[in-house]
């Protein structure tokens, strides 16, 4: 299993390659969406860190705290963590799993042009994992089961829309 730091760095890399910038708010939501896609499509977690329901939506606390100094400004550095082979060194982890790279690319392609505020609105819609978990001031963990169920439904809806579009063009 990869780390949320590696997933975040993949999004930051894709943003840089696309000439786009990401804020902490956008990065938090994209990492959450990638977790959802991974659970729904690969039947496994992209990363082990828990996702909490905060006022502005789903957040991995360690990732938020790493980049909070940027506030609403674009992130200009990679995510850094201690080297698992040598705790005295720091590394910028990268995704090693090709399927997870595809999951991150899918999330990026769907949401790269969506603002942080719009991503918050999406996660706040009724019957989302966040809306079913959020309790003000409690920062409760959003269960993987809720996330997986929601994103399985999301993927099924995409498939239906795709098939409907295919029948219109034939």
Note whether 152 and 40 are within 8 A (CB): yes
Residue 23: the pLDDT is: 98
Other CB atoms within 10 A of residue 39 CB: 22
Nearest to 119 by CA among 28, 20, 41: 28
Domain borders along the chain are 4-169
- Token look-up 């390659």 returns 17
**Which token pair is 153?**
């439904």
DSSP state of 124: T
Q: Note down pLDDT in tens along the chain; length 170 residues.
A: 899 999 999 999 999 999 999 999 999 999 999 999 999 999 999 999 999 999 999 999 999 999 999 999 999 999 998 888 888 889 899 999 999 999 999 999 999 999 999 999 999 999 999 999 999 999 999 999 999 999 999 999 887 777 777 677 76
Residue 89, burial from CB neighbour count under 10 angstroms (0-12, 13-18, 19+): exposed
**Vertex 101, ends 7 and 109: CA angle to 5°?**
90
User: Given this model, what pLDDT does residue 133 score?
Assistant: 98
- Using left for φ > 0, alpha for ψ between -120 and 50, and beta otherwise, residue 51 falls in beta
Instruction: Report pTM.
Output: 0.93
Instruction: Give the pairing type, strands 140-141 and 52-54.
Output: antiparallel
């Amino acid at each position: 299993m990869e780390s949320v730091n590696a997933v975040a760095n993949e999004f930051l890399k894709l943003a840089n390659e696309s000439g786009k910038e990401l804020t902490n708010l956008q990065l938090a939501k994209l990492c959450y969406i990638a977790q959802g896609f991974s659970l729904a499509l690969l039947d496994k977690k992209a990363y082990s860190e828990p996702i909490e329901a905060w006022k502005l939506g789903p957040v991995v606390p360690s990732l938020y705290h790493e980049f909070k100094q940027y506030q609403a400004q674009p992130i200009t550095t990679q995510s850094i963590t201690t080297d698992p082979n040598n705790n005295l060194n720091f590394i910028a982890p990268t995704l090693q799993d090709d399927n997870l790279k595809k999951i991150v690319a899918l999330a990026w392609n769907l949401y790269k042009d969506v603002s942080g505020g719009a991503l918050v609105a999406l996660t706040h819609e009724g019957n989302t994992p966040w809306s079913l978990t959020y309790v003000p001031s409690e920062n409760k963990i959003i269960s993987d089961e809720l996330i997986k169920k929601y994103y399985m439904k999301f993927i099924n809806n995409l498939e239906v829309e795709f098939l409907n579009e295919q029948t219109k063009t034939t």
